[in-house]
Structures are given as C-alpha cells and as structure tokens.
Amino acid sequence: MEVLRLAFLSSGVLEFFTSLSIALVAVYFGFSYLGELNFGHYGTGVTLAAGFLALILAPEFFQPLRDLGTFYHAKAQAVGAADSLKTFLETPLAHPARGEVELAENEPVTIDALDLIITSPEGKTLAGPLNFSLAAGETRRPGRTQRFR
C-alpha cells in the first residue's frame, strides 16, 4: 500500500509540474502574439503555426519523464513483492503432530481428505473445505471438469 501511495503522490506532482510548464509556454506564446514579448532571431515574432506546433509537442517532451516514473514505481512494486515473498519463505512452518502408522515403501497409498482446509502460516484460509479421495497413481485437478467426492 505504501508503494501505491508513493506512486499516486509522485505522479500527481509530476503531472502538476508538466501542466504548469505547458501553461507557461502557452502564456509566453500568448504574450508574444499580443506584442508584449519579442523573442526569436532578427526581431521576428513566432508564427501561429510554430506556436501551435510547440504547444502540441510540449507534452511529448515530458513523456520520457513520465515513463521513468512508471518504471520506477513498477520496480518499487516488484521490490515490495520480493520482500513479502522473502518474509513468507523465511516463515517457519508449523508441522502438525505425526501419526503412528508407518508406511511400507512398496505398498500403494490412498489419500482420503474430509473437510481439508489449507491455511497460510498466519492462519488465513487459502482453500477449503475440500473433500476428495486420491488412489495411488491418480492425479486430480480441481475445477469445473473435475468434481471432488
């Protein structure tokens, strides 16, 4: 959430200064058309076509800066996601108590799940309750085409 807040704040500031710069260019051209300001070479003023072209191209001048802001925030979001992933991977897993039954290596195993709930290390429910039976050698994929029993 911190990355999103920073992205909105910095993009708002960037858009404000971009708009302000374009407005100053427009005011500068407006005063030159009124005869209050003279710029250019050899005492000639700027033509209407040249001023209009400059105002149309002014936002394109700031586009690389906007792209830089976009890429910077994408990088910041990726760093935040990597930090979350690192924290998740470093969280020790809580192992439930083990059963008493020893499994033979050559004997096929059947897995029966009744009201199975998958939780995160923080205790948040990720999936479930699931009910299924899985015999040795079977593969199940949840979805519309496969119904769990």
Q: Is residue 84 located within the same domain as residue 124?
A: no
- Rounded to an integer, what distance in angstroms lies between the CA atom of residue 31 and that of residue 16? 22
Prediction pTM value: 0.49
In the three-class reduction of DSSP (H, G, I as helix; E, B as strand; rest coil), residue 126 is classed as strand
Q: Is residue 7 located within the same domain as residue 73?
A: yes
Q: What's the total number of domains in the chain?
A: 2
- In this prediction, residues 84-89 reach a mean pLDDT of 86
For residue 97, tell me if it sits in a domain. Answer: no
Query: Between 99 and 52, whose confidence is greater?
Result: 52
pLDDT at position 53? 92
Q: In terms of domains, do 25 and 80 share one?
A: yes
Asked if the model's pLDDT at residue 30 lies above 60, the reply is: yes
C-beta separation of 26 from 51 below 8 A: no
Task: Tell me how far apart the alpha carbons of residues 135 and 109 are, in angstroms, rounded to a whole number.
Answer: 7
Give the residue among 56, 32, 31, 28 at the shortest CA–CA distance from 44. 32
Let me know whether 109 and 82 are in one domain: no
Which ranges of the chain does DSSP label H, i.e. alpha helix?
2-34, 48-90
What band does 20 get if pLDDT is binned at 50, 70 and 90?
very high
pLDDT at 145: 52
Domain residues for the domain of 145 are: 102-149
